[in-house]
Amino acid sequence: MHPEQVPPVLADALFRPVRTGNAFEETMERMLQAIRLGAIPPGGRLPPERELSARLGISRVTLREALRALQESGHVESRRGRYGGTFVRPVPTHRAVAGPPPSPEAVEDTLTLRFVLETGAAETAAARALGPQVRRHLRACLQDCASAPPTDYRRTDSRLHLAIAEATGAPSLTGAVADVRSRLNALLAAIPRIPANIEHSDAQHRDIVNAILDGDPPAARTAMAEHLAGTASLLRGFLA
Amino acid sequence: MHPEQVPPVLADALFRPVRTGNAFEETMERMLQAIRLGAIPPGGRLPPERELSARLGISRVTLREALRALQESGHVESRRGRYGGTFVRPVPTHRAVAGPPPSPEAVEDTLTLRFVLETGAAETAAARALGPQVRRHLRACLQDCASAPPTDYRRTDSRLHLAIAEATGAPSLTGAVADVRSRLNALLAAIPRIPANIEHSDAQHRDIVNAILDGDPPAARTAMAEHLAGTASLLRGFLA
DNA sequence: CCGCATTGGATCGCGCACAGACCATTAACA
DNA sequence: TGTTAATGGTCTGTGCGCGATCCAATGCGG
């Protein structure tokens, strides 16, 4: 007997895990993502626990467990009372967690998804009529990125890329870009030292943002593709 | 006092729900996805419960609850004993569940993400050196799609698009395409009747597959973009 | 200086999901 | 024709996450 089988690659995609880890771990990951991607800047305040737990779809108890862990790891700080809240601490103790090196397949997978999502986001953003507020935000992120000290580069860089995704106006796309960006940052953390191609990056960032602001989708896509190629070959060199 | 706030769009993306629904519902969704997307053809056999529950990262009890529900809804059928298993029933009782009409924002969100993912997948697939097996699979899906009766069109169409995503070799991208495709099918289900532009679609499918097999990324992207435009304007017309 | 709205902090009972073991059934194969 | 391996079917105890409710602190407005 030979029942029809589902192709292996498709099976991996469709029958992938329903839930990755428990609620606590998922929540930790999400909060760290928000902090590391610079969505909540140092000194910034997180939404109140009741609101945040509702947004994340988890109980307040579970959220508080995660926040407590983040507190102990030095990422956030809590203050009680009205006008209190949970605040992101500036430059937390950056202890590099040395995990197992990622497999070449995982690297290629992440880079492929990233390329598709981010070039697509740039193109889509350029095709939209952007409001003045969004345009200002893009320029501000670009400026932050260019003038940031090397220690903040990773964060401001993520912030800019996220801003581009936001400019598409599609929440799903923004979320997908945020996720793949987190995966990318995890890969970059496994690299010993980052070469000083920051100036080069800044110029590329400017090209991308200009193309988007000018409403030139093909140029935005091309500029983004060139920008991503740098990081991609860097990662492939170290990890693949 | 005015603590720095996180931009609303980004907050929606980052603080989106950690887990959508309970494990049972998630599992149901996943299994229905596999069936409706045609990954498991009618008559095909699902992996054994033990293996499937392990893949999905859930307990066998929970998986069985979902399978039982699918059994009662007529989607699958179980047989005990060696060489038994759970099989997809041909053409289950297609009772259309009339939910609330999707919001225009949700439609636009889905269409945007779909455009980015699927054009990106086509381009990526065309840029790869495809093995003979993959090439055969693509051609087979194209053929199925062209020769399928109207009742099977949705399924074979999904199957072809999934095959293209598979051809990228990136599991994450394949999973993302499968997800957005499910969302799209949900939207299409809300439309009263599908116009008879199937022949047109078949020609476009051929163009896409040919461009991929010829290794012409720009042509693949363009062909896919044209193909998606049809469905997009259809949905926008009905729902936006 | 007082009152109060707002926020973090803490506790208790409930229900779902899990892990593991065991039972029942079936078709290929020797 | 018996054996056997693989599969669906069932049961029980355990732990995590949830909902709800209350407590504690704190700074602004009167």
More confident residue, A87 or B93: A87
User: Per-residue pLDDT for A12 more than 90?
Assistant: no
Residues 6+ apart with CB under 8 A from B25: none
> Residue B36: what residue type?
R
- Quick check: A96 contacting B, CB < 8 Å? no
What CATH number is given for A20-88 in this structure? 1.10.10.10
Q: Per-residue confidence at A4, pLDDT binned at 50, 70, 90?
A: very low
Separation of alpha carbons B209 and B89, rounded Å = 30
Q: Identify which of B6-10, B149-153, B166-170 has the greatest average pLDDT.
A: B166-170
Q: Per-residue confidence at A148, pLDDT binned at 50, 70, 90?
A: confident
> Residue A63: what residue type?
L
More confident residue, B97 or B34: B34
| Mean pLDDT along residues A146-151 | 84
Residues 6+ apart with CB under 8 A from A36: A154, A155, A158, A182, A185
User: Per-residue pLDDT for A99 more than 90?
Assistant: no
**Across the interface, do A116 and B1 touch by the CB < 8 Å criterion?**
no
Is the CB of residue A13 less than 8 Å from the CB of residue B171?
yes
pLDDT at residue B154, as a whole number = 84
Buried b (16+ CB within 10 A) or exposed e, A155-182: bbbbbbbbbbbbbbbbbbbbbbbbbbbb
- Of A184-188, A226-230, B64-68, the one with minimum mean pLDDT is A184-188
Q: Which nucleotide is nearest to A78 (CA to C1')?
A: C8
CA of B61 to C1' of D13 (A): 14
What CATH number is given for A104-239 in this structure? 1.20.120.530
In chain A, at which residue ranges do the beta strands (DSSP E only) sit? 76-79, 85-88
pLDDT at residue A3, as a whole number = 41
- Domain regions of chain B by residue span: 12-88, 104-239
Separation of alpha carbons B192 and B82, rounded Å = 44
| Mean pLDDT along residues A130-144 | 94
In the predicted model, what is the mean pLDDT of chain A?
88
CATH architecture type of domain B12-88:
Orthogonal Bundle (1.10)
| Mean pLDDT along residues A34-41 | 88
User: Per-residue pLDDT for B4 more than 50?
Assistant: no
User: Per-residue pLDDT for A97 more than 90?
Assistant: no
| Mean pLDDT along residues B164-170 | 96
Q: Per-residue confidence at B149, pLDDT binned at 50, 70, 90?
A: confident
User: Per-residue pLDDT for A183 more than 70?
Assistant: yes
Separation of alpha carbons A138 and B3, rounded Å = 21
The alpha carbon of residue B96 is apart from the nearest alpha carbon of chain A, in Å, by 23
pLDDT at residue A194, as a whole number = 62
User: Per-residue pLDDT for B186 more than 60?
Assistant: yes
The alpha carbon of residue A32 is apart from the nearest alpha carbon of chain B, in Å, by 10
pLDDT at residue B97, as a whole number = 58
**Across the interface, do B162 and A10 touch by the CB < 8 Å criterion?**
yes
Is the CB of residue A31 less than 8 Å from the CB of residue A69?
no
Nearest to B6 among A6, A39, A117 (CB): A39
Length of chain A: 240
Mutation to test the B interface, candidates A2, A6, A15, A33, most B Cβ within 10 Å: A15
| Mean pLDDT along residues B20-39 | 88
Helix%, strand%, coil% for chain A, nearest 5 = 65, 5, 30
